[in-house]
Amino acid sequence: MSGDPAPMTYREAMRQAIREALLRDERVFLMGEDVGRYGGCYAVSKGLLDEFGPARIRDTPLSESAFVGAGIGAAVNGMRPIVEIMTVNFSLLALDQILNNAATLLHMSGGQFPVPLVIRMATGAGRQVAAQHSHSLEGWYAHIPGIKILAPATVEDARCMLWPALEDPNPVLIFEHALLYNSEGEAPAEGHTVDISRARLRREGRDVSLFAYGGTLAKTLQAAEALATDGIEAEVVDLRVLRPLDTAAILASVAKTRRAVVVDEGWRSGGISAEISARITEGCFYELDAPVARVCTREVPIPYPKHLEDAALPQVPAIIAAAREVVGNRG
């Protein structure tokens, strides 16, 4: 690692990661809606056009299918594109390209055509921008073989996940929760990476395992602190990689605490929380002292009014209540 950890925002960490990748490899370029002159919809790419020019910071037409397809073509031909989609809801306009092309080409070509493509997009709710800009669909994408799904929740992961993603021969989708961009933390100045196949233990505990990722991690850590005042020591595992799930880390935590709560901003029905619950049941059923609990977004399109949006999303009191309930069911 070069340089001591430095304080920065999540937004600045993403910008530094992109800038370092552009400096490190001339094949890397950024493309998407408003990434150039506007500086990115969330100001992540602000200043990069002036430094690297329009050949490497490319504004695109408002057509997700077109510019994601162009990114796939560039990756197949040896480039290392970073494609930015404004919000996860709009990524559905490029789902054909992602599922039927990016995720399948390496397999269908017998390994001849890797697709080293990174697609970044904002995800999550809490900003009062209503249903077409607020959903958390990363669990949908985690269903697809042939791609990797990352959900950095910390400034360090925002800073350090991009380069290993660019080195991967498979497409990597990075979901950045929009409420995290202004969050602050420390990250290495340059040259540091993290393992993009492993979960991360954020808090050790003995009574219950709390699993979270992305925008739910901070709420889950707050819940764990509150639980500690009641004598309940919660272990918090940051999943951070939704495909491939780090099943070993999940099972190891549950084997220790014998109880589990999964916190997910996605919907409960058919979501990633259901997959995690199933893996716990399959892998350590006889270690469980209580059923696996889930705290998920309500089964509604994300509302616009603030009080309804808050009511729809996983919140700290609900996480605390779920943890207390499973701890109360002692074996």
- What residues are labeled active site? 64, 133
β-bridge pairing 234-238 and 293-297 = unpaired
- For residue 201, count CB atoms less than 10 angstroms from its CB and return exposed for 0-12, middle for 13-18, buried for 19 or more: middle
Instruction: Name the phi and psi angles at 306, rounded to 5.
Output: -60, -45
Distances (CA, A) of 75 to 80, 118, 139, 210: 6, 9, 24, 37
| Dihedral pair phi/psi, residue 324, rounded to 5° | -60, -35
Burial of 130 (0-12, 13-18, 19+ CB in 10 A): middle
Asked if 267 contacts 297 with a C-beta cutoff of 8 angstroms, the reply is yes
Give percent helix, percent strand, percent coil of the chain, each to the nearest 5: 40, 20, 35
Spatial neighbors of 57 by CB under 8 A, at least 6 apart, are 29, 30, 35, 36, 45, 48, 49
The Cα–Cα gap between 289 and 291 comes to 7
Instruction: Please name which of 298, 291, 278, 301 lies closest in space to residue 327, comparing C-alpha atoms.
Output: 291
Q: Which residue has the tokens 């594109």?
A: 81
> Using CA atoms, how far apart are residues 187 and 3, in angstroms rounded to an integer?
10
Q: How far apart are CA 58 and CA 68, in angstroms?
A: 13
